[in-house]
Structure 1
Amino acid sequence: MREKLFLLLANLFWAGNYVVGKQVIKETGPLWLTFIRWGIALIFLLPLTYLLERPRYIEVLKRWWLPLLVNGILGIIGYNLLLYGALKYTSPMNAAIVNALNPAIIVMFSYFLLKERITLMNIFGFAVSLIGVLFILTKGHLLFIFQANYNLGDLMMLLAGVVWALYSIMGRKLAVPPITATAFSVFFSIVTLLPFMFFHPFSLHELSKGGSIGILYISLFPSVLSFLFWNVSVKKVGPSYAGIYLNFIAVFTALITFLLGDSLSMPQLVGGGLVLTGVYLATAIPKTKASRSTDATVSSGH
């Protein structure tokens, strides 16, 4: 029962990242939000690695520094810049629905890059999910697929899914505990971003009270607590069962959006239903090795 609650809370906090992030980037921009979010999160992640996993830090750095650096560039810098950049142009609901395609993308990439086993049902599920995303991109007019003026934010979220797939596939090769791997990837990403921050000056004094609260939420809840809840639950119930709960991100985003007074369009509802159904078919029937790795690594990027 506790694990189910943890999984629900983890996905609720990740859903909040889309809604809150949409507002915060108006003050900070994607670059500074990414830097501040993970800089604050790192302060909490480092002691968590010691308390929960007790890694040999020097050994991890000597053996895995390059893969962890690449993972930081892909999963922390690349994914988050694309995510927050997308939120400048699209709605949190659209971003969450397109993001729901990620597990299916990983299965397909694993087939082509790692020669993982794939079935006709997996392919069919991926196709259904893709149709759902296209339904959203064309605002319900699939016949306009080659002539529609697509929303830039939705396209950026598709690219973010590709970046996340590469990050997740690389993460499979890391023999490093998940919280430790995330902490070091975040560390390397912060170091990589630091020189760029001098060319984009920003004063924290410019933040409004709402912006400051939003940053604290994003830094603590979806960045630290969600990841902690996710990994504690995965150890108890397994990644296959936990992976099913990832569909709640889009559901919770829709609920938050509705509660805040925004309406949901028919293309969003229909497209979202197709995406979630397709992802289930692409990853859960049958459960492939690729999808198991997807469940285990997906948590640090939302």
Structure 2
Amino acid sequence: MQQRLTLRTALLLTLAPLLWAGNAVVGRMVHTLVPPITLNFIRWALAFVILLPLAGWVLKRHSGLWSHWRRFAMLGLLGVGLYNALQYMALQTSSPINVTLVGASLPMCMLVVGALFFGAQVSRQQVVGALLSLAGVLLVLGRGEWQQLLALRLVLGDVFMLLATVSWAFYSWSLAQPKDPAAIRADWAAFLLAQISFGLLWSGSMTAVEWSLGAAPIQWSWKLAAALVFVAVGPAVLAYRAWGVGIQRVGPNVAGVFINLTPLFATVLSTMFLGEWPQLYHLLAFALIVGGILVSARR
């Protein structure tokens, strides 16, 4: 049963976009050092090692994982194998502003997928909330000048990000379906490890294809090592934990609006690296995004 949006749940749903914004920035920083699908595979392999001491019991024969293997295989494909690989692929050929703009369509995509495939009812206020948050994202991406948005052109990377957004919408709605063994559902580490276990199979297969097509060799360095540790611990383990709890508490439609914080955080992080201070349009965009969240969550 879905709950009201509390401060604690809001903080969890805010933490995930913050970490994912860092993931986009770091992914762009190392895109010349490691192939994108390989980066995704290494990231989740490290996350698997981190979670194994906490929830290794889920891999045992009678844990309930193997009797529900189809569900976890699908979650692993959508949330581990596809979404992040497509995002890293998008960062290879598309500009960060295009990638975040396409990703900002997630709340609307969440509403459409929920209505068409999961029988969810979409209220007028949820649509209004999604549009308000999207307006805030557009304001940030255009740096307060709408002419910059009109000059954007889609490239192959934007198509990859669009596919990633659709994958994440299906993943989020699948999370909200109570079809998992109670023991696994109650243990966040076991629930995530169950997904990663199958996700590594998907990602590993994709990595094999990437290398068979002539992927560039990995350029190992301390910079790449630090990046791998960050994307494994933060955007993978911690962010997925926070997002999963938020989805279970308030549902995908409300949680989906929080994803619009990602490009806002990404813009702020980028400006920090460039030594720029937040501008007035950042504050206006933040007000629109938060306003959209409150409208969507209001009962």
Same fold (TM over 0.5): yes
Spell out the pairing of 1:154-169 with structure 2 (5 A cutoff).
Answer: 154-169=158-173
Q: Which of residues 202, 223, 245 in structure 2 aligns to 1:192?
A: 202
Given the alignment of the two structures, is residue 179 of structure 1 paired with residue 189 of structure 2, yes or no? Answer: yes
How far apart, CA to CA, are the structure 2 residues paired with 1:87 and 1:227? 21
Distance 1:56 1:245, change over 3 A: farther
| Alpha carbons 2:261, 2:289 under 8 Å: kept | no
Spell out the pairing of 1:172-251 with structure 2 (5 A cutoff).
Answer: 172-173=176-177, 174-175=179-180, 176-177=184-185, 178-199=188-209, 200=211, 206-228=219-241, 238-239=249-250, 243=255, 246-251=259-264
How far apart, CA to CA, are the structure 2 residues paired with 1:5 and 1:120? 25
Distance 1:197 1:127, change over 3 A: closer
| Alpha carbons 1:12, 1:252 under 8 Å: kept | yes
Distance 1:50 1:5, change over 3 A: farther
How much has 1:78 moved relative to structure 2?
Answer: 1.0
- Give the structure 2 partner of residue 72 of structure 1: 76
Distance 1:30 1:10, change over 3 A: same
How far apart, CA to CA, are the structure 1 residues paired with 2:127 and 2:16? 29
How far apart, CA to CA, are the structure 1 residues paired with 2:128 and 2:156? 27
How far apart, CA to CA, are the structure 2 residues paired with 1:186 and 1:250? 26
How far apart, CA to CA, are the structure 2 residues paired with 1:248 and 1:196? 30
Per-residue CA deviation, residues 199-232 of structure 1 (Å, 9 max, x unaligned), is 517798732221221112111222123344566x
- Give the structure 1 partner of residue 119 of structure 2: 115
How much has 1:105 moved relative to structure 2?
Answer: 1.9
- Give the structure 2 partner of residue 90 of structure 1: 94
How far apart, CA to CA, are the structure 2 residues paired with 1:5 and 1:125? 18
Spell out the pairing of 1:7-22 with structure 2 (5 A cutoff).
Answer: 10-22=16-28
State the superposition RMSD in angstroms: 4.2
- Give the structure 1 partner of residue 3 of structure 2: none
The worse-fitting range, judged by mean Cα deviation, of 7-16 and 274-283 is 274-283
Q: In structure 1, what residue type is equivalent to 2:23?
A: N
| Alpha carbons 2:101, 2:138 under 8 Å: kept | no
Distance 1:131 1:12, change over 3 A: closer
Distance 1:248 1:120, change over 3 A: closer
> How many matched pairs?
277
| Alpha carbons 1:132, 1:270 under 8 Å: kept | no
The worse-fitting range, judged by mean Cα deviation, of 68-77 and 153-162 is 153-162
Q: In structure 2, what residue type is equivalent to 1:250?
A: P
Q: Which of residues 17, 24, 37 in structure 1 aligns to 2:43?
A: 37
TM value normalised by structure 1? 0.71
Given the alignment of the two structures, is residue 60 of structure 1 paired with residue 70 of structure 2, yes or no? Answer: no
The worse-fitting range, judged by mean Cα deviation, of 87-96 and 214-223 is 87-96
Identity %: 26
Distance 1:9 1:130, change over 3 A: closer
Secondary structure, counterpart of 2:233 in structure 1: helix
How much has 1:56 moved relative to structure 2?
Answer: 7.3
- Give the structure 2 partner of residue 276 of structure 1: 289
| Alpha carbons 1:104, 1:283 under 8 Å: kept | no
Q: In structure 1, what residue type is equivalent to 2:293?
A: Y
